[in-house]
Structure 1
Amino acid sequence: MAAPEALKRGLTARHIRWMALGSAIGTGLFMGSAGAIQAAGPAVLLAYIIGGAAVFMVMRALGEMAVRHPVSGSFAQYASRYIGPFAGFLAGWTYTFEMFVVALADVTAFGLYMGFWFPDVERWIWVLAVVFFIAAINLISVKVFGELEFWFSLIKITAIVLMIVGGIAIIVFGLGNQSEGAAGIQNLVSHGGFMPNGLWGLLASFTVVMFAFGGIEVIGITAGEAQNPKKVIPQAINSVPMRILLFYVLTLGVIMSLQPWTTIDGKTSPFVSIFESLGLSGAAHILNVVVITAALSAINADIFGAGRMLRGLAEQGQAPKQFMKLTKSGVPWLTVVTMVTALLLGVVLNAIFPDQIFFFIAALATFATVLVWLMILIAHVRMKREIARESRLPSEFPVPLWPGASYAAIAFILFVIVMIGLVPDSRPAIFVGAVWVVLLALSYRFFVKDAGKRRYELVDETGAIAVQGEPVRPRRRRVR
């Protein structure tokens, strides 16, 4: 069997670092944080710290595997290799569908944002325009994609930094805001205490907090197109978690200090309030630029991640082989076209059944995020065991505090899944997720051929990349 065409390695360290940072700072922070604040009050800051620590372990596990096996498809191939072919099929298609439903929400949100400036223009026109714009960017070359994502992320991060600086100035100097209870760190404890809804409120907030971090796993997808994956991926992973914790924790801390958390009702973004507190003229217009940029960044990364995942599944025989075809610039064009087509279909469904569609989007995306993370962690544990059992060369980017921290992260993800089922607002995700897993199991049983149900070797004993897609006989385990 001939080796598949190779993806172009056009993503630099700058691209990957900002892509990973920007992918986790989007709708979950700008809009979804209101729900987490309502559930836990100021104690939501603890939830973001704890959740961020768990996400860091997921990233480090993914990073260790990505440095050892820098391939397209990333964690789906790792799950297939170290857990089993169905695990890879489950992880890959779940992530792909997650990217689709999240992108669908983002393109619809883009239409709403543009309606602020152009209320007389039909929403579907903006949706259609942004879908084709992002598709064109993804079809040009991976370098253009990375550059655009860099600037999108830079705008988002700059806006957040300005809000933090301005908010701290208001808190310290009382600039432009003298209303009662509007500014001061005392707001974190003076409205029912730091944990006003008790321990249950804190635990319930994890269902929103962890979804907000969803998408950061795209860094593993970039391994197949990074110019020097063994260098840039560790740099990106090690630099991003602390920044995310600072952006989430510090930003929300400032927001809840500027105004009582009880005034955040979820009807508007908490960021609207901080702009108004800064006393900026035309604050709504500034906010609209930021949220539009966040939506464009998210759609861009979603199409990229889903497309590369489909290619990886095709290499394993778990998706049509046509998904491996590349353009002259090294872009898997059919995966991008497929994603765009799915988005156009989704926009139509959203226009006809808006309430039902968004119910399934929210439910499935929440479940899909933690399911993918669980597959990553389990695959990593299996890889570490195999390395030790077969005396292979040690990893160049090992996870910290092995094995305790890894098992603690798995336990935490399982806890989040349980909480999704216990919290009434997120409970539908469990039922939707169960249906999704059953559908994938049936699809795997009836549509995936024998070649897609075999384990595939990713590296030889020296750590060099082997020909992907070639099945190998399983090694015999040594009798001890």
Structure 2
Amino acid sequence: MFLRHVLRPPPPEGDIRLRTEKAGLSRGLNSRHIRFIALGSAIGTGLFYGSSASIETGGPAVLLAYLIGGAAVFLVLRSLGEMAVANPSAGSFGEYASRHLGPLAGFLTGWTYAFEMVIVAVADVTAIGVYMGFWFPDVPRWIWVLAAVLIVGALNLVSVKVFGELEFWLSLVKIVAIVSMIIVGIVVIAFSLGTGHVHVGIDNLWNNGGFFAGGIDGWVLSFAIVMFAFGGTEIIGVTAGEAESPEKTIPSAVNSIPLRIILFYVLTLAVIMSITPWQQISDSGSPFVQIFAGVGLKSAAAVLNVVVLTAALSAINSDIFAAGRTMFGLAERGQGPAVMRRTTPNGVPWVTTLVMIGALLFGVVMNAVVPGEIFLIIASIATFATVFVWVMIMLTHVKARRAMSPEETAALKFPAPFWPYGQIITLVFMTAVLVLLGFEEDTRVALEVGVVWLALLTVVFFLAVRRKAGTDPQSVPSTDEDAGAVNTVKEERAEVSG
């Protein structure tokens, strides 16, 4: 009974005011915001902290893993970009899945993405506790985690423009810092600077057991961690609903992905492993900080620690935004609690933002109870959720494209490349990554949690969503034409209530 109440369908046609007062998201994100939100999602804890685990598993060959994984993610984002530009009003890829694959697929995709953002955000706040240990090793980690949750959560409640501006400046700090670190790192390598305790040189990439020092099996297993680093890039599809000119901003953001991967992942990690042999990089902190501390540049290490803190805050900022908008969209389709449709006068879905803040407080508890093991567990679960969402995006795109006529395909403003073989190869690759999670004991929990999560969602869908009074799950728009009709009704309602 409770589930039927909280998952009740959207208000009937006559209930105009509730719909318009509580469901209006603000289009306050411009091209600059969208581009840097995408950067903020891609450059976070997965790179600044999680890369140490991928290096430990795969050795220098992890650089190749980032290139391959990045190429697959680029195809996912191009496929998502095609749908987002064609129909930006949808607001999330969960809605695309509902239209093309059915309501259950949209329900699973939307809530798994929200779950992904919660888990990734917990990983990000956990990293903040680790980073603060660089200066305050005796202070309990959970204190810093709690402070981060409250600060970023409060900022997300202001307005979408405040969020966009905050993300712009936080991401700008990260970009400048990474470029500066690469330049300083190249200088350190070129002049063999340091204390002499470690060998500095590009030959560190192949002289310490070879390029595939972790073995082929270690390199393959590293993909399970590598893909975590790219999690959150799909936020580009979520921002389409609040972008001022999605037909321009979305392609610009998506097409910047390849250069970003080469610069921010491959080149950066190559510099790190050239300065410090890969075996000496540990998970006790950010490898970005470790390399400069290891060669005796303490002041540079301190500056970089500020940067990685900024990166983590930026990532949490994006996580809260993305999860909140996704839950808002689910509520709009009658697939989430109706209260999640409520927004502030500034167009911020405040209920969903508070839900995210509450979920992050769970991360505070986890950091107080199991501070040592939490990150790998959380990262593995986040990888499952992330890759599952990517698989659903690709399946949605394949179904949508196959339903198009040749004329409709030719009219696409931002078509995904390499159709259809690139999409098929990407689907196979993503599925293989999910299977890889079961090969290691440390990551196997991700599959277990993931299967239980999907099973629970399926039960909730059939017990609550399908049985809602007066709601047929097939009433969810299944085509762009249907969606356009729904959007027209919304606009007419807004005019009437105004």
Q: Give your verdict on TM over 0.5.
A: yes
Task: Report deviation, 1:117.
Answer: 4.1
Question: Equivalences for 1:153-168 in 2 at 5 Å?
Answer: 153-168=171-186
* Structure 1 contact 72–309 (Cα < 8 Å) conserved: no
Rounded to whole Å, the distance in 2 between the matches of 1:81 and 1:464 is 8
1:292 aligns with 2:309: yes
Letter in 2 for 1:338: V
> Which of the numbers 271, 274, 283 marks the counterpart of 2:300?
283
Match of 1:457? 477
Secondary structure in structure 1 of the residue aligned to 2:443: coil
Rounded to whole Å, the distance in 2 between the matches of 1:50 and 1:204 is 13
Letter in 2 for 1:148: L
Question: Equivalences for 1:3-402 in 2 at 5 Å?
Answer: 4=20, 5-71=23-89, 73-117=91-135, 123-174=141-192, 176-177=193-194, 179=196, 182-276=199-293, 279-352=296-369, 360-388=377-405, 394-402=411-419
Rounded to whole Å, the distance in 2 between the matches of 1:106 and 1:93 is 20
Match of 1:425? 442
Task: Report deviation, 1:338.
Answer: 1.4
* Structure 1 contact 387–393 (Cα < 8 Å) conserved: no
Task: Report deviation, 1:185.
Answer: 1.6
CA pair 164-349 structure 1, distance change in 2 beyond 3 A:
closer
Tell me which moved more, 79-88 or 345-354. 345-354
Rounded to whole Å, the distance in 2 between the matches of 1:101 and 1:249 is 25
CA pair 350-188 structure 1, distance change in 2 beyond 3 A:
closer
How many residues get paired? 469
* Structure 1 contact 63–234 (Cα < 8 Å) conserved: yes
Task: Report deviation, 1:115.
Answer: 5.0
Rounded to whole Å, the distance in 1 between the matches of 2:169 and 2:438 is 38
Letter in 2 for 1:208: I
State the Cα deviation string for residues 361-411 of structure 1 (Å, max 9, x = none).
233212101101000000000000111389577321100111111111111
Task: Report deviation, 1:415.
Answer: 1.2
* Structure 2 contact 85–414 (Cα < 8 Å) conserved: yes
Rounded to whole Å, the distance in 2 between the matches of 1:355 and 1:263 is 19
Secondary structure in structure 2 of the residue aligned to 1:387: coil
CA pair 124-35 structure 1, distance change in 2 beyond 3 A:
closer
Rounded to whole Å, the distance in 2 between the matches of 1:266 and 1:354 is 13
Rounded to whole Å, the distance in 2 between the matches of 1:350 and 1:179 is 36
Letter in 1 for 2:111: W
Secondary structure in structure 2 of the residue aligned to 1:399: coil
Match of 1:445? 462
Task: Report deviation, 1:95.
Answer: 1.1
Moved beyond 6 Å, runs of 4+: none
Letter in 2 for 1:373: W
* Structure 2 contact 289–302 (Cα < 8 Å) conserved: no
Letter in 1 for 2:302: H
* Structure 2 contact 289–305 (Cα < 8 Å) conserved: no
Secondary structure in structure 1 of the residue aligned to 2:207: coil
Tell me the C-alpha RMSD between the 2 structures.
2.6
Q: Under a length normalisation based on structure 1, what TM-score does the superposition of the two structures give?
A: 0.91
Rounded to whole Å, the distance in 2 between the matches of 1:243 and 1:435 is 35
Letter in 2 for 1:161: V
Secondary structure in structure 2 of the residue aligned to 1:236: helix
Task: Report deviation, 1:38.
Answer: 1.6
* Structure 1 contact 84–455 (Cα < 8 Å) conserved: no
* Structure 1 contact 387–394 (Cα < 8 Å) conserved: no
Q: Which runs of 5+ in 1 are unaligned?
A: 471-480
* Structure 2 contact 142–367 (Cα < 8 Å) conserved: no
Match of 1:474? none
